[in-house]
Amino acid sequence: MLRKMFVLLMIFILFEFGFYACKSSSEPKETKGNITGTVKDLVSGDAITTDTAYIYLGDSLLTKTDENGKYLISSMEEGTYALTCSSLSIYFREETNTVHIIGGETVTHDFYLEHLGKICGEFQDLNLFNENVIIEPEICCRLS
């Protein structure tokens, strides 16, 4: 009799454990996360507030900074992304960083852009401009 009660108790415990294990595994896992941060000047460390910076994934614009240099990208699938930050008004060298997103979490990532100075003149082709800055650095007016 004691043996039968022990067996029944063990079956009940296993049944209850199995029920709770199945119940917890059936809940959907959050697969989307967020990225937030600030775009800053590489030298000073100050937020870039005078110009809007843009965050891209490949050729797709994800977001832009606000007046405080802050940005938010929401609802990104869990994974690793190569994000590029670029500013167009005053010439800053764009920066590409790898950011890892974990589902259900908000990751903080700051971009640090190198200030190259103010563009003197007009270039329609940024690649051409970059090549010419290397060859003739004086075409770029340095800000002090």
Q: Where are the domains of the chain?
A: 32-117
Name the superfamily (CATH) of residues 32-117.
Answer: Carboxypeptidase-like, regulatory domain (2.60.40.1120)
What pTM does this model have?
Answer: 0.63
Q: What are the phi and psi torsion angles at 105 (to 5°)?
A: -120, 160
Q: In 3D, which of 7, 16, 35, 21 has the Cα closest to residue 105? A: 35
DSSP state of 139: G
pLDDT single digits (tens) 3-57: 776 666 677 676 666 655 555 556 677 889 999 999 999 889 999 998 899 999 9
User: DSSP 3-state helix, strand, coil percentages of the chain (rounded to 5)?
Assistant: 25, 45, 30
Q: Give the β-pairing of 106-108 and 32-41.
A: parallel
